Amino acid sequence: MTIKRSDIKALIITGDGINCEVETAAAFREQGINAEIIHISDLISHPHRLNAAHILALPGGFSFGDEIGSGQILALKIKYSFEAELKKFINDKKLVIGICNGFQALVRLGLLPKPFEAREMTLTHNDQGHFINQWVDLNVTPSLCAWTTDLEGMVISLPIRHGEGKIVFKGDELTQEKTYQNLYENGQIALSYTENVNGSYQNIAGVCDPTGRIFGLMPHPEAAISQWLYPSGKDKKDQKGFGEKIFSSAIKYCESNF
């Protein structure tokens, strides 16, 4: 039996400097699902609330001001407060998305690219050495990712807004190449920039875990759900934008799997 859209529940974490929770929740709500913004302190005091959700979203922002390393302290906070409940959530085959700072936190938590294994990937300072906000073109490569099924094979445009979006792998060059090949062959590279925008390894912009259910990406789909938000005057119209398809893909996954 298929779950009703209105019964699909997304939890969107906020607090401690996260700042894209409202538009991320709005992007989910446009799909007709139940999206709730929850303060991380409330989730820490009531971690069982994860059980009632199908989707967990870590939105963009500047958690803890990006001090020490972007996403680093948020990852520690999650690890030391509701790691067990989060593991259960993942083992229950539910969906997780981390956008920008949320992606950085998922990586530092060790959930991407391979949950519960030794870390082999990180996100570090852009080659430019500073924050950038610009729209970039992306290839949606064929992958396992449940969050990109509606876009697969397309070239899309989304805004990036980050200072630490360069993907780096652990170890010497050969090890890095192996790690990349492995992810590529697994179908975990879900999104790549069409050109070098920040020095990211092989222009990677987004990766998923081996199940395709946990997805992290640097660009902001929630800021491109409508074509009114496109950067060119000519393209502005009353139609859904590329970003919307990330959310629609996930909801379709929920519909067929829950």
Partner 1 sequence: MGHVYRFEIYPNQHSLKNVTANENALKKWFKDFTQTEFERIFEVRYFLVETDEKIEGIHAYASEVFTDSVTETLFSSESTNSEEYHGWIKEKGFTRPFMIDIGFRPGVTDNSAHAAKEALKLLPALKKRNLNVSSGAMYFVEGIDLNPEKLQKLTYEKMANFLLHKVTVTSFDELVHNTRLKNITFPNVDITAQQMALINLDINDSELSELNSKNCWALSKEELAHIKNHYKKLERNPTDVEMEIIAQSWSEHCKHKIFSSEITYSESNLPMGVKALGEMKIPGIFKTFIRGSTLKIKEDRKLPWLISIFHDNAGIVRFDDNVDVCIKVETHNSPSALDPYGGALTGILGVNRDILGVGLGAKPIANTNVFCLAENNYFKDNDISMPLLLKNPDRIKAGVHQGVQDGGNKSGIPTVNGAFVFDRDFVGKPLVFCGTVGVMPQIENNHNTFEKGQRPGDLIVMAGGRIGKDGIHGATFSSMELVDGVPSSVVQIGDPITQKRLSDFLIEARSHGLFNSVTDNGAGGLSSSVGEMAQLTNGADIDLELALVKYPGLSPYELMVSESQERMTFSVASETIAEFLELAEQRNVEASVIGKFTDSGLLNIRYNGEKVAELSLHFLHESLLPMKLNAHFDVKTKSAHWIKKKITKKSLPGNYKEILLDLFRSPNIRSHEHLIRRYDHEVKGATLVKPFTGSSEKGFSAPSDAGVIWMKPHGGDADNAIAIACGICPKVSEYDSYLMAEYALDEAVRNAVCVGANPDEMVLVDNFCWPDPIESPRNPDALLKLSHLVRASKALYDLSISYGMPFVSGKDSMKNDFIGVTAENEKVKISVPPTLLVTAMGKVPGLKTITTSEVKSADAYIYLIGEKHLNLKSAFELSELYEDYKIEYPLPYINGKKQLDLYRTFHKSMREGLIASSHDVSDGGVLISLAEKMMGTPYGMQIELSGMKKHELTGFFFNEGAGRFVVTVNPKDAREFEDNLTGHFFTRLGKTTNDEMLAVALDGVSVLAVSGSECMDHYKIQTRELV
Tell me which residues touch partner 1 (CB under 8 A): 14-17, 19-20, 22-23, 26-27, 39, 41-42, 45, 60-62, 64-69, 72-73, 76-77, 80-81, 108, 119-122, 124-135, 157, 159, 161, 168-172, 196-197, 220, 222-225, 228-229, 231-236, 238
CA angle 180/186/188 to nearest 5° reads 70
Q: Which residue among the candidates 100, 145, 208, 254 is catalytic per the annotation?
A: 100
187: alpha, beta or left, given left = phi > 0 and alpha = psi -120 to 50?
left
Residue 225 Cβ, how far from partner 1 at the closest point, in Å?
A: 7
Give the chain's count of helices (H) and strands (E).
6, 11
Q: Which two tokens stand for residue 122?
A: 């990180």
Give catalytic status of residue 30 as yes or no: no
Of 82 and 94, nearer to partner 1 (C-beta) is: 82
| Residue 202, phi then psi, degrees to nearest 5 | 50, 30
Closest CA to 99 of 90, 87, 91, 107: 107
Identity of the residue, 94 or 221, whose beta carbon is nearer to partner 1 in the bound complex:
221
Q: Are strands 95-99 and 214-217 parallel, antiparallel or unpaired?
A: parallel
Tell me, what amino acid is at 208? C
C-beta of 32: minimal distance to partner 1 in Å? 16
Exactly one of 54, 125, 220, 244 is catalytic; which is it? 220
> What is residue 178's DSSP assignment?
H
Shortest CB 144 distance to partner 1, Å = 23
Residues contacting 43, CB < 8 A, separation 6+: 11, 13, 49, 50, 82
Tell me which of 85, 222, 244, 254 is the catalytic residue: 222
Instruction: Please indicate whether residue 162 is annotated as part of the active site.
Output: no
At its nearest, how many Å lie between partner 1 and the CB of residue 118? 8
- 153 or 234: CB nearest partner 1: 234
Q: Which amino acid is at 64?
A: F
Least Å distance, CB 75 to partner 1, is 10
> Which tokens belong to 34?
């139940």
Closer residue to partner 1, CB minimum distance, 94 or 188: 188
Is 220 tagged catalytic? yes
Q: Rank residues 94 and 125 by Cβ distance to partner 1 and give the closer one.
A: 125
**CB atoms < 10 A from the CB of 2, how many?**
10
Active site residues: 100, 220, 222
